[in-house]
Amino acid sequence: MEDEGRVLIRAGDIEIDISGAQTSVEERLVKIREDDTWSIALSRIRNAREIAIQAAIEAAKESGLPERGSAFKALIENCNLIRKPDQVLGAIQYLRDVEGINDSPPRVLNQIFIDAGLEPPGNLSLYLNRLRERGYLTIPPSAMEKNRYAILTLEGRAHLDKRSRF
């Protein structure tokens, strides 16, 4: 007996709803991914993510950044970043893209978690090194291999896009 599967994606007025036997769902999903509907849905998801980031930027600018914790927490919740490594990627993106901070030592990364009322990552170097190994982060050559200057790669941004639940 084969497992049942379901894929439901809503992006604006586009809805992809597939259910049935797991192999059937997978086959139909492969066909849909080749269609324009899939590209449009992904584009809308990316746009929604960018809108959330822009809203965080505007909120930060309007308030002079005292609500950094709530803006970061909203980004974590809106993008469905549940796992700690994903949250660390989100924190680096938030600091760089929203606040324009390029130098984010461990105390700064830990503080943004504390400001958001979230448990700090703990062994941050371990997270950063593993994210680098997976190709989600890079360190500019001029930074002499210091994790505090980490930048999200295209793969890192794509990974965060996949985690979004828009």
Alpha-carbon gap, residue 101 to 94, rounded angstroms = 9
The first and second tokens of residue 100, run together, are: 């324009």
Q: In this predicted structure, what is the pLDDT of residue 105?
A: 86
- Tell whether 18 and 88 lie within a shared domain: no
- Tell whether 94 and 159 lie within a shared domain: yes
Whether residue 129 lies inside any domain: the answer is: yes
Q: What is the share, in percent, of the chain residues with pLDDT greater than 90?
A: 20
User: Domain with 122 in it: what CATH number?
Assistant: 1.10.10
Average pLDDT over residues 59-75: 72
For 27-31, 120-124, 159-163, which range has the lowest pLDDT when averaged over its residues? 159-163
- Tell whether 84 and 156 lie within a shared domain: yes
The first and second tokens of residue 80, run together, are: 């469905």
State the DSSP H helix or E strand holding residue 21, giving kind and residue range, or none if neither: strand 14-21
- Tell whether 19 and 73 lie within a shared domain: no
> Tens digit of pLDDT for each residue in 75-121?
888 888 889 999 999 999 998 888 888 888 888 899 999 989 999 99
CB 121 within 8 A of CB 106: no
The number of folded domains in the chain is 2
- Tell whether 12 and 80 lie within a shared domain: no
- Tell whether 77 and 158 lie within a shared domain: yes
- Tell whether 74 and 156 lie within a shared domain: yes
Q: In this predicted structure, what is the pLDDT of residue 122?
A: 85
> Tens digit of pLDDT for each residue in 118-137?
999 988 889 999 999 999 99
Calculate the alpha carbon distances from 2 to 23, 25, 70 in Å: 8, 11, 44
Average pLDDT over residues 3-14: 81
- Tell whether 83 and 153 lie within a shared domain: yes
Whether residue 43 lies inside any domain: the answer is: no
Show the domain range for 24: 4-34
Whether residue 103 lies inside any domain: the answer is: yes
State yes or no: pLDDT of 63 exceeds 70.
Answer: no
DSSP 142: G
∠ CA 84-86-91, nearest 5°, is: 90
Across 26-40, 44-58, 106-120, the highest mean pLDDT is recorded for 106-120
- Tell whether 15 and 96 lie within a shared domain: no
Whether residue 47 lies inside any domain: the answer is: no
- Tell whether 84 and 159 lie within a shared domain: yes
Whether residue 124 lies inside any domain: the answer is: yes
First to last CA, the chain: 33
Give the burial class of 146: count Cβ atoms within 10 A of its Cβ; 0-12 exposed, 13-18 middle, 19 or more buried. exposed
Whether residue 52 lies inside any domain: the answer is: no
Whether residue 122 lies inside any domain: the answer is: yes
CB 45 within 8 A of CB 158: no
- Tell whether 23 and 102 lie within a shared domain: no
Residue type, 159: H
